[in-house]
Structure 1
Amino acid sequence: MSDRFDVGVWYEYVRVGVWVNQYDVFCGVVVNGVRLDQPYCRAVEECVEEMLRDYGREVERLREPPVPALVIKIDPVEELLREWPELGAFGTEWVRKWLDLRERLVEIAKVMRRFPWMVDVVKQRPTSTLHPYTVEVYVARDGSEACLSLTSSKAYCAQDGVVKEVKLELEFKRYETYEDKTREVYRPKGLLAYAAAAREYVRLL
């Protein structure tokens, strides 16, 4: 066999107990650099036949291409939509387009979760050209009304469960702590500002 193959022996000491010098010795055959287990045979011919069989099997195994690692690609957009399904009202492609502004998208989703009617309003409006920072939300300080603005020309306000399209013209008045955050406070412009029932609005977005 040695005239056809490069044959050698390997051995290894393995600790089998906690005491000093408690080792077992494991050994086997090396054929052309391929490590084989120790053959169990009675005659030389049987050993040679077993080693050749094991060697051939190992060579075939080594020739097989490695099993590719299982790679699971997670779509960050799908992951965000699973966590904040309210953003689905804007459409998947819109979310993908503005994914770099993830923190802003989450802020929008939190407010929409607080006011579910806003989801239906957004679904009914074109949003492909909408920038996340043009989405504005105002709430009356007395809690009687909430308004969603998607453009500068109109807004949608809900009061007593009824949503109406309005022209919301507000002007900044001051900063105020609202829900543990410093926020902008607005009042209506023009003659409405002098009405006794004029509301003050806190900007959430």
Structure 2
Amino acid sequence: MEWVRAWAPHSGERLIEIAKVMRKFPWMVEVARQRPMNILHPYTVEVYVARDGLEACLSLTPPKAFCAQNGVAREVRLELTFSRYEVYEGKVREVHRPKGLLAYAAAAREYVRML
């Protein structure tokens, strides 16, 4: 995790937010460790959580993301579009919906952007 050391002096608050989210979802730490990457900018890291709480997604290089459901992480192509703002866990957060044909599927989930 060289990128954490490189960005620590410049983006302390953002790194703290990333650490809090990764404590909630420990599988994200393993995914980040396993991926070979150079210095990653902290503001490119995105985390989305399904509103029903059944799925969480970590995006290090959009549109690729790693989503976990029932403890199993898999790589997916996550294409979301902004829907609205909503209060989630005491903060105003963005709510996103799938883009394209997935938006019309009955099982389409809404995702809250945590980071």
Fold in common (TM above 0.5): yes
Partners of 2:6 and 2:39 within 8 A in 1: no
| Cα shift at 1:128 | 2.1
Matched, 1:149 2:62: no
**What is the rounded CA distance, in whole Å, between the counterparts of 1:124 and 1:131 in structure 2?**
17
Is it true that 1:98 corresponds to 2:13 in the alignment?
no
- Supply the distance in 2 between the matched residues of 1:142 and 1:153 (Cα, whole angstroms): 22
Structure 2, unpaired ranges of 5+? none
Q: Distance in 1 between matches of 2:99 and 2:47?
A: 17
Structure 1 stretches of 4+ moved >3 Å: none
Distance 1:124 1:200 in 2: 28
Displacement of 1:127 in angstroms is 3.1
Q: Write the mapping of 1:1-205 to structure 2, written as runs, cut at 5 A.
A: 90-91=1-2, 94-99=3-8, 100-205=10-115
> Once the two structures are superposed, what CA deviation does each residue of 1:14-54 show, in whole Å capped at 9, x if it has no partner?
xxxxxxxxxxxxxxxxxxxxxxxxxxxxxxxxxxxxxxxxx
C-alpha offsets along residues 64-97 of structure 1, whole Å, 9 cap, x if unaligned? xxxxxxxxxxxxxxxxxxxxxxxxxx23xx2231
Superposition deviation, residue 149 in structure 1: 0.1
1:195 to partner: Cα distance: 1.0
TM-aligned CA distance change 1:114 to 1:204, over 3 Å: same
SS at 1:142 equivalent: coil
Q: Distance in 2 between matches of 1:192 and 1:109?
A: 31
2:63 & 2:113 partners in 1: Cα distance? Answer: 17
Q: Normalized against structure 1, the TM-score is what? A: 0.54
Higher relative contact order (CA 8 A, sep 6+): 2
Aligned residue identity for 2:35: R
Q: Deviations over 1:125-168 (max 9, x none)?
A: 12323100000000000001000000013100000111000000
Give, as a single letter, the amino acid of the residue that structure 2 aligns with 1:146: A
Q: Distance in 2 between matches of 1:155 and 1:107?
A: 19
Residue type of the partner of 1:161? Answer: G
- Identity level (%): 74
Larger Rg: 1
SS of corresponding position for 2:66: strand
**Which structure has the highest strand share of the two?**
2
> What CA distance in whole angstroms lies between the structure 2 residues aligned with 1:96 and 1:195?
42
